[in-house]
Structure 1
Amino acid sequence: MKVESTLFGSFEVAEDKIIEFPAGLPGFEGYRRFALVHEEGAEATVQFLQSLDDAEVAFPLADPVSFGIHYEFVLSDEEQALLGLSAPEQALVAVIVRKETGAGLPDSAGLRANFMAPLVINAEARRGLQKVMNKVECDITMRARD
């Protein structure tokens, strides 16, 4: 399938690489088909969840491990059924990140990750959801990077 993106231009996505978010994402409920993409030749530390329904909608994602964070939370039975998960190992977890520039202060620049609303994707079934937590319901362990 040919995809148009304001970030990546025109590119092809195989049908078996399309990820469906049956409920959409909060604030973007009408967008349900996405693909994971990254800049050609760039290391895939940050990938983009590119909407296939709107060329202007793309969310930068990172694996929590890239921040040195081990991250666990519970999915409801309904969420597991929606994703088609039968084992925790099938779930890929990513967080949406954004660049923080601060008020011109060097120590406030960097990436900010949204750990209160991670994305959970079943790569085999190509189904995903955004798990929105109103309070910290997860265990987060930070580890020093080598």
Structure 2
Amino acid sequence: MKIESPVLGTLEIAEDKLIEFPNGLSGFEDLRRFALLHDEEAGTPGLHLLLAVDSPDLVFSVTEPANISVHYELSLTDEESAAIGLDDPSGAIVLVILRRTEADPDKPETAGLMANYMAPLVLNLATRRGLQKVMTRVDCEVTLRSV
């Protein structure tokens, strides 16, 4: 399928490479088909783009939490696992949506990328189905290491 994206240009994406989010994403519940893309030439091996196929002007930057040195676990309900056809947790990958933040003029250190750990994406690549796990609470454990 050929997709014209105002952000990424003309793309050719095979139908069998699409990922379906049966419930859409938070704020975009009506968009269910996405393509997970990676630009090899960009020099950002851990960064992927998630393109809304039916609204190609919508593109999210996503990465695995481990790529930004964050390790965390989450649990899916039986219903969530069934929705994406996940029988074995090792068949899932977890991604977080990234967003760029502009620097506050009084606090230049505030510029950078922010990752949304409260609503990660869980993908079953075998079934090409995914969901966004919106969490109201995250238990965290912090490990400090000297460098």
Matched, 1:2 2:15: no
Q: d(CA) in 1 for partners of 2:60 and 2:99?
A: 9
**Corresponding residue number in structure 2 for 1:20:** 20
Contact 1:71 1:141 in 2 (8 A): no
Amino acid paired to 2:130: G
> Deviation per CA, 1:78-133, whole angstroms, max 9, x where unpaired?
00000101111111100001011221333211110000000000001000000000
Percent of matched pairs sharing the same residue = 47
Q: d(CA) in 2 for partners of 1:95 and 1:81?
A: 21
User: Which range is displaced more, 102-111 or 24-33?
Assistant: 102-111
Unaligned runs of 5+ in 1: none
Matched, 1:75 2:105: no
User: Higher RCO, 1 or 2 (CA under 8 Å, sep at least 6)?
Assistant: 1
> Deviation per CA, 1:42-99, whole angstroms, max 9, x where unpaired?
1332211101001211111011001111110110000000010111111110000101
- Report the Cα offset of residue 141 of structure 1: 5.6
Q: d(CA) in 1 for partners of 2:143 and 2:63?
A: 15
**How many residues end up aligned between the 2 structures?**
144
- Counterpart selection for 1:112 from 111, 114, 121: 114
User: Which range is displaced more, 101-110 or 78-87?
Assistant: 101-110
TM-score, length-scaled by structure 1: 0.90
Amino acid paired to 2:125: A
Q: Please give the root-mean-square deviation of Cα atoms over the aligned residues, in Å.
A: 1.8
**Corresponding residue number in structure 2 for 1:126:** 128
4+ residue runs over 4 A deviation: 138-144
